[in-house]
Amino acid sequence: MQDDDMLYPPVDPVKVGLRGCCPRCGHGRLFDGFLKLKPRCSACGLNYAFADAGEGPAVFVMLIVGFLIIGMALWLDARFAPPVWVHALIWIPAAIIISLILLKKMKGIMIALQYRNNAREGSLDRD
């Protein structure tokens, strides 16, 4: 990582994560398809084998979307008192669409933060 700082200036992990770009150079694409990672960056050649976001992005998306959808549903119910089928018609598609939009962006941010902080899988040191 120290050699990377000399060759590539540090990029903002949130900006490159939201754009889905390489966490080292900020130019190459991170994703090959919707959520599948490319094997390496096309611009700088960074191997993406280190990237393992796990279930973290999904947890954050569930928390964010749940907060937004429940808040808006409660507001709508208090303001207009529509029937339950109206809530289902509005909030189920809204939750799905918002989740799909946020999932890729959160995965990009988490991978960029992994690279930036040199995060690795935990291990026990045995002497």
* Cβ atoms 28, 70 nearer than 8 A: no
Q: Which residue has the tokens 């040191």?
A: 125
Tell me, what amino acid is at 34? F
Q: How far, in Å, are 67, 68, 80 from residue 83 at the CA level?
A: 21, 20, 9
How many Å apart are CA 73 and CA 75, to the nearest integer? Answer: 5
Q: What would the pLDDT profile of 70-95 be if each residue is shown by its tens digit?
A: 999 999 999 999 999 999 999 999 99
Q: What would the pLDDT profile of 32-76 be if each residue is shown by its tens digit?
A: 999 999 999 999 999 998 888 889 999 999 999 999 999 999 999
* Cβ atoms 37, 47 nearer than 8 A: no
